[in-house]
Structures are given as C-alpha cells and as structure tokens.
Amino acid sequence: MRILALPIALAFSVAALSAPALAQSATVRLTLKDGRFEPAQTTAPANQRLTIIVKNAERTPAEFESNTLRVEKVVTPGATIELHIRPLNPGRYRFFNDFHQQTDGYLIVK
C-alpha cells in the first residue's frame, strides 16, 4: 500500500503547486460598435494568461485579428467570442478588424 501512496501524494502535491498559477489570469472585454473598438485601448497584466472577450455589436461580420498576439477569429453579427492568449511580455499589441483594417485598437501589457 505504501508504494501506491507515494505516487498519489506526489500527484496531489503537484496539483497544489499548480493551483495558484491557474488563478493568475486576466480578462479584457472589447465591443466592436459604430466602426470602432470600445475601448480602443485597454490594459492587461504581464506574464499572465489572458482571455479577450470580443462582442460584435455591428450588423456585419468582423474578423478580430492581431499579428503580434498571433490570433484571428471571425465574429458574426451580434455574437461574442472568447480568445485565450498565452502569457505576454510587457509591450503594446495592436489588434484590428481584418475586414476593415482602419478599425484598430491596442492592448497595453504592463
């Protein structure tokens, strides 16, 4: 029985150490409305996983895209999407609507 107890105890120890890391995440909410992102500039903490929630309040489809964030996803009219982003270094990350590239914004990571 002791042979089985050691791997189980180790598994619980690793899970306990990982729990605080899982808690470190942030969420940013954006709305595409009237041909622009609201807010056009937002902030997020560095070195944490990030969820970007994008709501398309337009009557036409949009494509949320960012070369620096390495993400692109179509957002149908009236829909909301979630994008899960890796931990980021401090910096300024541009995002835009690929269907109308003049519609852009910035994520400032501190």
Residue 41 lies in a domain: yes
Q: Which two tokens stand for residue 109?
A: 């990571």
In this structure, is residue 93 part of a structural domain? Answer: yes
- Which domain, by its residues, includes 80? 25-109
| Residue 52: strand, helix, or coil | strand
CATH of the domain at 30: 2.60.40.420
9 is a domain residue: no
39-65 mean pLDDT: 98
CA dihedral sign, ordered 87, 26, 41, 103 = positive
- Quick one: pLDDT band at residue 24, thresholds 50, 70, 90? confident
Work out the average pLDDT over 22-51: 94
Number of domains in the chain: 1
Residue 85 placed within a domain: yes
Percent of the chain predicted with pLDDT > 90: 78
11 in a structural domain = no
Looking at residue 80, its amino acid is T
